[in-house]
Amino acid sequence: MVNKTLITISFIILSFLHQSAKSQVCQYLVWSDEFNGVGAPVSEKWGFETGAGGWGNNELQNYTSSRENSYVGNGVLTIHAKKFGNQWTSARMVTAGKASWKYGRLDIRAKLPAGRGTWPAIWMMPAKSVYGGWPKSGEIDIMEHVGYNMGVVHGSIHSESFNHIIGTQKSGSINLSNVDSKFYTYSVEWTPQSIKWFVDGSLFYTFNNLNLSYKEWPFDQDFFLILNIAIGGNWGGAQGIDPNLTEAKMEIDYVRVYSNQIPKPAILGPSSVKNNSEVVFSVNQVSNVSYNWEFPLGVEIVDGLNTNIVKVKWGNSSGIVKCTLSSECESVSSNLFSVKTIENPQGEFYRIPIQSSTGELLWKSSSTSGNSLELSSPGPEALKLDYNITSPTKNPFISIILPNYLDFSVFNQISLKIKIVSQTGPNLMRIDLVDKNGNINSTDIFRITDPVNNKHYNIYNYTFTHSQSDSWLLEEISEVRVYLNYGVTGKKGSGSIIIADVMMGPANSFNNFSVAPVSGLPVPISNEFSNQWSVHNANANQISLLHTNGNLKVNFTNLSEISNNEYFSYSFPKPVDITKTTQLNLDLSKDINWPSDIKIELFDINGKSNGNDVFSIQTFYEDINPPLYKYVFGNKGDGGDFLICRVSNIRFSLNKKSSVLPSGIFNINSLNFIVPEINNSVFESKYSNLNFYPNPASNYIKVIMPVAFDQIDVKIFSLSGVLVHNEIISDSNGLLKLPHNLRPGIYIIKAGTGGKIFSNKLKINK
């Protein structure tokens, strides 16, 4: 075991400074290896350059990373060159890619090998050859030795102007005894002005910066350290190799790198932490300094106060970590190190915010050439996007950077509402969850092709999944992006949409709805479904329901005038998307008297309805068989957030007029939602060719129906489809008086009775 002076790293200003310390140059240990382990060198500090081929000097050895040629034990690093037959192996250890320095002091305490033909070296090469290949970017030889001249150690530099190839190399030598049995400390002090060589603190050579060009002084860049034993070569083998030589060892007691300036600390630690978890942060260990750590409020230091390695218990807020190193000479602070908490959503769902608590819009638009994305917020949970896309391949998108990283490994289903408020909408949308590293799951894409354009909110759901092998971190999502009209299939165009209620929840939490089949959605009225029907009476005994296997009998008494306080309703077992099946077909018949008005409204999962979109029946066709009434919902703007894609309730409100008896009974024989038919008249029929005369007419026409009738529902439309007159004819002669406000021209007249519609063109002359 080699005795060594152990370095104690102090984290306060050490007392060893002399009384005149303030006038002295402070010096700090910034990197070291004391080789206190056993086995392989520390991989975080050392790497290996391997291979044979002479290494530019006709050397014989093959460099390996094997423990045969390099190992740590008994407090030293041993580089062991070995001969196997006629072949030599050795080691060439480097800090390249792990540590490099510009200026400072390097101390390497070493014992050198003996034997003619050995060529051990402790030297430095540039981390980046900014001035060109060797020797232009420089070389610093801290110690070189050749076995045929045991008592002499050399130090030198190489540059474009000064190198042994052209006979101008700058070097110095020192005579030492017992270099193969005694440890010496080989050092260089490197400043912008000079490089000085020492052995055990005694200066033996100085190379000064001539301040001419890089050709003389390329030593203003970072250099890394090399430890190796070469065998033979142009210099080491200049007097041959001892044929009896079979091995050579160089032992390194320690490597220590000092700086006369505190190096800027670089914080190592997690960029994301879970709430209330314990984590460790560190900076490089530097001697003769104190460490002052700064953490956000709520972070508790558990261990390592005023040291370079500190353990903390993080709170529940994201924030900045900072470390300042101080000595009597100076203070140097790290860059700000941002740490975000990983939030685990709680409760039923997590809402992606639209606005901050102060009302600031949190979403931003991407800046892409040729595309305009203007954002505004019509409400706290709604985002309006006015877009003009002229370059879809620029992939226009909007996004929000989340305040914390979100763990969506459980809350992995997304739900959002989209309403197209312009005449046309986007042809393609896509929603991405972006993790903290900027990755998305390219195999798991949420696309919305041709979003529904019915001027209502429509809900879209998607469940994200990923395996453990994916690089995408669903448990650390930092951003949500929404693309529209993007890529090669995106279309040019402009418009406006509103995105609202963007939420994340556990898988299937937003799938609590059914989609009405395009073949039709019957609303059940039989006995077995009676518990899904309910009655609301402002006063007792105003409406009662009797369910039979054939129909639903509605008994009403004492109705109020023009009031919605009396109603009955049907509740779906779970909300229904009737986006495609918005036409309601209702078969009604009378037992005893009608109310004056039946209003039918749809209510969504949130209990909201569209007050502008009500099916109102005020004219009852008692003698028509079947008495089928039809209405298409969804064609009128809702003025709010009614969800026609999540209908949960149908309400039937009954009213009466003073001239109508307050009591009666009528039947609901069937109730169906279907895909809207092309012709949405009150009655649907393929019959036509209505006969009437005179045609042209002036004041009266006589309607001739091909079927028996007690009354006729007559409608007169302009050629543009506007209803200009509607009247019920009960005259058995079918006589209709034309209204005086009809101007001369061509009209369409339709007459319905017995579930059939007959039509023809009507010309009016006045």
Where in the sequence numbering do the catalytic residues fall? Answer: 139, 144
8 Å CB contact between 219 and 225: no
Instruction: Give exposure, 357-392, as e/b (b: 16+ Cβ within 10 Å).
Output: eeeeebbebeebeebebebebeeebbbbbebebeeb
Biggest CA–CA distance in the chain, Å, is 140
Please tell me the distance from the alpha carbon of residue 164 to that of residue 235, in angstroms, as a whole number.
Answer: 11
Beta bridge mates, 231 = 118
Please tell me the distance from the alpha carbon of residue 401 to that of residue 334, in angstroms, as a whole number.
Answer: 25
Please tell me the distance from the alpha carbon of residue 560 to that of residue 562, in angstroms, as a whole number.
Answer: 6
Please tell me the distance from the alpha carbon of residue 326 to that of residue 43, in angstroms, as a whole number.
Answer: 30
Question: DSSP class of residue 22?
Answer: G
Phi, psi of 527 (to 5 degrees): -55, -45
Beta bridge mates, 309 = 282
8 Å CB contact between 147 and 115: yes
Q: Is 69 helix (H, G, I), strand (E, B) or coil?
A: coil
| Pairing between β-strand 397-406 and β-strand 337-343 as defined by DSSP bridges | parallel
Which distant-in-sequence residues (6+ apart) come within 8 Å of 178 by Cβ? Answer: none
Which distant-in-sequence residues (6+ apart) come within 8 Å of 620 by Cβ? Answer: 588, 590, 594, 627
Q: Which two tokens stand for residue 762?
A: 């009507």
Cα Rg of the chain (Å, integer): 45
8 Å CB contact between 758 and 705: yes
Question: DSSP class of residue 676?
Answer: P
Please tell me the distance from the alpha carbon of residue 159 to that of residue 218, in angstroms, as a whole number.
Answer: 7
8 Å CB contact between 187 and 197: yes
Asked if omega into 694 is within 30° of 0 (cis), the reply is yes
> Which of 734, 683, 673, 668 minimizes the C-alpha distance to 707?
734
Please tell me the distance from the alpha carbon of residue 162 to that of residue 235, in angstroms, as a whole number.
Answer: 18
8 Å CB contact between 448 and 430: yes
> Which of 736, 750, 609 minimizes the C-alpha distance to 679?
750
Asked if omega into 396 is within 30° of 0 (cis), the reply is no
Please tell me the distance from the alpha carbon of residue 526 to that of residue 47, in angstroms, as a whole number.
Answer: 82
State which H helix or E strand residue 479 sits in. strand 477-484
CB atoms within 10 A of CB 468: 4
8 Å CB contact between 324 and 332: yes
8 Å CB contact between 186 and 172: no
Phi, psi of 351 (to 5 degrees): -95, 125
Q: Which two tokens stand for residue 729?
A: 């004819």
8 Å CB contact between 54 and 107: no
Please tell me the distance from the alpha carbon of residue 635 to that of residue 458, in angstroms, as a whole number.
Answer: 14
Give the CA distances from residue 180 to residues 113, 333, 457, in Å, rounded to whole numbers and listed in that order. 5, 44, 86
DSSP 240-299: ---TT--EEEEEEEEEEEEESSPPPP--BS-SEEETT-EEEEE----TT-EEEEE--TT-
Question: DSSP class of residue 580?
Answer: S
